Structure 1
Amino acid sequence: MAAPSLRQRLVPLVGLIAGMALVPRRTAYAEEPPTDSLAALRRRRPIYDTPSSANIREIAATTPAPASGLTTTPQKEAAAASPRRGPSPTDRLAAQIARSRLYLHRYAASAEQSVNTGLTRVLSAEDSLATTIRSLAPPKESNEKLLPGGIYVLVAAMAGSIVSRNRNIAFRFITPILTGVVTANYVIPRTSENVGNLIWKYESRFPVVRDQHLRIRDGITHFWETGKAHSQMGLSMAEDKVEGVVESVQAWVKQGR
């Protein structure tokens, strides 16, 4: 029988080495290995023993958070961790209704304020007009009658207009006013004075009109005073002439006797 070759000798050796290299060092079980419950109870520490730091960390890591919400996590981190939810359609509808109600309330309040302001102005103007008319009426102790006095003033103004109808436009404009004012000062003097004070009150608000009124009044007063002085002087001269004539007649009569 022939001796085996070197190749045939090395093949079993290589197979043995490969088998030794591939042999597992740990036992692999297809199912969970059996556990001894008594051994686990023996390994469990009593509840009264002081736990180590490792056990404390394990307990803290495996213990769930309390239901009361008292956790060691900061509130900002908890808020950032919790997902944010936007407003629901019901919340948006409620917010829109609230804005609409506020807008309507502001509009109604503004309209009410405008109406109240307008009514206040109207009532103030009415009260001012009534007060002004009452202030023009003469006092009871003056015994002035507005009805016949007003008719006399109107007739005098119409008469002045009739008299000056063939004159120039300035004379036709001034004559009825002068005749009416003169008649009013004579017939209803207290009412004329009240009307003059009211006109002066309104004219005082406009300096130009006020100054023009003062100049016209001063001119009329000066003309009236000058005419009165001249008339008195003419009357005195006429009286002197009459007295001289009377004396001459009396002297002539005495000579004739």
Structure 2
Amino acid sequence: MAARVLLRRFSRKPIYDDYEPELPKADTPVPSPASHTIPQASGPESSLISPSATSETSTTVTSSRRGPTPTDRLAVQIGKARMFLYHYATKSEDAVNSTIDKAFHLEKSFTETVASLAPSRESGEKLMPGLVYVLVAGMAGSIVTRNRNILLRATVPLALGIGAGWALIPVTMTNVSDLTWKYESKFPVVADAHLRTRESIQRGWRFAKVHADLGKTYVDDTVSTARDTVEDWVKKGK
């Protein structure tokens, strides 16, 4: 009886099998998350994952592996074309605005320059009759030298016009001279030539003035001497 009890005790199978899971080998490929070979976990956590989330995950993984679609590439190219057109339109607009600004500044500078040439009200100088007289003087010079050589025909009317301008409208001529000198200062060669020409003209004018004064004095002395001589003759004749 005791031997039978012992045989039953040793013949019973254990409740838990002595099972040791085999580890995967190093060369065995790892299945992807979207593969159906991975067994799903059976437990309270696996019941929380919905089939829609699983399908979205598999779709995302598939699209990331597949790359951009033709629609995506077309959208990228359209975006590049729009940016190129935008930059080109911006540059064109800036160029047009810059050109218009330059034109406005040029017009403003021209009007201010012309207005600065006019005489002030305090001077009492009027342009209209003075300019007419200057024009008449220039025309008279061209008429006088119409049968002369080309050098006289080019210089005499200009000289008469400038002389009439300095005599009739001196304030306006001063403004014109200052403006001319302002532009000539930008070119040193022209400015030096102008200075030398003006100095030579001034020296010639002073020389002519001195000789005119000497001639006037000589004439006055001669006339006075002749008058005294005539008076002496008249007195002696009496």
- Show CA shifts across 1:74-130 (max 9, x none): xxxxxxxx9732101121111111111101110110110000110111011001101
Structure 2 equivalent of residue 200 of structure 1: 181
Query: Residues of 2 paired with 1:213 and 1:191: CA distance?
Result: 19
Residue aligning to 1:178: 159
Q: In structure 1, what is the Cα distance between the partners aligned to 2:146 and 2:39?
A: 123
Partner of residue 43, structure 1:
15
Give the equivalent residue in structure 1 for 2:7: none
Give the structure-1-normalised TM-score.
Answer: 0.70
Aligned twin of 1:120: 101
1:1-257 → structure 2 map (5 Å cutoff):
43-44=15-16, 54=20, 84-257=65-238
1:17 aligned residue: none
Distance 1:217 1:176 in 2: 19
Indicate the SS of the match to 1:195: helix
Shift in Å, 1:44: 3.1
Distance 1:83 1:134, change over 3 A: closer
Is 209-218 or 152-161 further displaced after alignment? 209-218
Residue by residue over 1:201-247, the C-alpha shift from the partner in whole angstroms, topping out at 9 and shown as x without a partner, is 11111122112212221121111111111111011011111111111
Unpaired runs of 5+ residues, structure 2, are 1-11, 25-37, 49-62
- Aligned AA for 2:87? R
Cα shift readout 1:6-65 (whole Å, capped 9, x = no counterpart): xxxxxxxxxxxxxxxxxxxxxxxxxxxxxxxxx88x5238xxxxxx9956979xx9785x
The 2-side partners of 1:229 and 1:53 are apart by 140
Q: How many residues align?
A: 200
Name the SS of the counterpart of 1:43 in structure 2. coil
Which protein shows a greater Rg? 1
Separation in 2 of the partners of 1:56 and 1:240? 148
* Alpha-carbon distance in structure 2 between the residues aligned to 1:54 and 1:195: 113
**Matches of 1:248 and 1:175 in 2, distance apart?**
43
CA distance in 2, matches of 1:83, 1:251: 136
Give the Cα–Cα distance (whole angstroms) in 2 for the partners of residues 215 and 188 of structure 1.
25
Give 1:43's aligned amino acid.
Answer: I
Question: Which residue of the partner structure matches residue 49 of structure 1?
Answer: none
- Secondary structure (helix, strand or coil) at the match of 2:65 reads coil
Moved over 3 A (4+): 52-58, 61-64
Residue identity in the other structure for 1:228: K
Residue segments in structure 1 that go unaligned for 5+ positions in a row: 1-38, 46-51, 69-81
TM-score by length of 2: 0.75
CA RMSD, Structure 1 to Structure 2 (Å)? 3.2
Going from structure 1 to structure 2, the CA distance change for 1:53 and 1:218 (only over 3 Å counts) comes to farther
SS in 1 for 2:66: coil
